[in-house]
Amino acid sequence: MIRSVVRGHGAALPKRVMTNKELEGVVETSDEWIVQRTGIRQRYIAGEGETTASLGAQAARAALDNAGLTPDDIDLVLVATSTPDNTFPATAVDIQRRLGMTHGYAFDMQAVCSGFVYAMATADLYIRGGMAKRVLVIGAETFSRILDWKDRTTCVLFGDGAGALVLEAQEGKGTISDRGILTAHLRSDGTHKDKLYVDGGPSSTGTVGHLRMEGREVFKHAVGMITDVIEAAFAATGTTAEDLDWLVPHQANRRIIDGSAKKLGIPLEKVVVTVDLHGNTSAASIPLALSVAASDGRIKKGDLVMLEAMGGGFTWGALLVRW
């Protein structure tokens, strides 16, 4: 059977780092409060000329280099983002343009912090359905541009960045020893819409709006939703926590990450954590974390890697991949 195999990875971060200490001058907060509640120590903030499309294109080029491929080899550019450069066209077509691609097709997906998991699951279907041989799957965000910088309950949590993977159709045996995406599980429940949302949009206010969140409510649901969908991925593949080499979670909050790992019986040494460095970069957080851990040699070819995310909607999902 056809499998969607990771052939390359890449990442891009804005030039400017903003530490918790610097945030102390923006809102009434402290480094100690932020670290204790979230594990975040710094985040990257996009400057002039740095946008979701520019960061996404940079991550895409890095992933293509890592794969030893060029834009000519790509059939589909799929971008997960909630902070597009424009309401339309899709950020994906701008990235396609920046890569000099005039062939193939490109579109965006919007599932907030679960966006990258949704995009990977979608790319997998396009590949297995024969509609693409190679897909650039990109998570790219500039959440700093939709934050209310007067609201300390949200502005300390998020950052900007982008990550990308190249997925390639390869022949597999149909067993869990195959490389590639082994199973994908997506969920959403719109009854939670008002717990994490942006209070603007083209059709409602005609403005971009700002991020609003009931942090405690999100926290309350996160661990249960994450562990439930990971259990579904284990059940579908006959695997257990012991078979995993790495858990690469969405990087929202250290306490949510640790709580989920503990509940699943996954030792913390097997969990990739970058939230301290990047903050919550929404759809970019998983590919950024993957790129960090694959570049520093932690994630190796053949490793069994669980990806999971939960975010606005609520949306959530998990994906089991053999690297």
Ligand X SMILES: CC(C)(COP(=O)(O)OP(=O)(O)OC[C@H]1O[C@@H](n2cnc3c(N)ncnc32)[C@H](O)[C@@H]1OP(=O)(O)O)[C@@H](O)C(=O)NCCC(=O)NCCS
Residue ranges in contact with ligand X by CB under 6 A = 29, 33, 37-38, 113, 152-153, 156, 213, 215-216, 218-219, 252-253, 256, 280, 311
- For the CB of residue 1, give the shortest distance to ligand X in the complex, in Å: 33
113 is catalytic: yes
The H or E element spanning position 311 is strand 304-311
20 is catalytic: no
The H or E element spanning position 8 is strand 2-12
Name the catalytic one among 9, 192, 210, 250: 250
- For the CB of residue 248, give the shortest distance to ligand X in the complex, in Å: 15
Could you tell me the maximum CA-CA distance found in the chain, to the nearest angstrom? 57
- Measured from the CB atom, the residue of 8 and 163 that comes closer to ligand X is 163
- Measured from the CB atom, the residue of 153 and 239 that comes closer to ligand X is 153
Strands (DSSP E) found in 199-255: 211-213, 246-249
- Measured from the CB atom, the residue of 138 and 156 that comes closer to ligand X is 156
**Residue nearest ligand X (C-beta atom):** 215
Residue 61 CA to residue 10 CA, distance in Å, equals: 7
- For the CB of residue 267, give the shortest distance to ligand X in the complex, in Å: 22
Peptide bond just before 314 cis, omega within 30 deg? yes
- Measured from the CB atom, the residue of 65 and 194 that comes closer to ligand X is 194
Name the catalytic one among 113, 185, 210, 278: 113
Residue 221 CA to residue 196 CA, distance in Å, equals: 12
Q: Which residues is 42 bridged to in the sheet? A: 19
- For the CB of residue 13, give the shortest distance to ligand X in the complex, in Å: 19
280 is catalytic: yes
| Cβ partners under 8 Å of residue 34, min gap 6 | 20, 23, 40, 41, 156
Q: Which residues is 306 bridged to in the sheet? A: 247, 320
As annotated, the active-site residues are 113, 250, 280
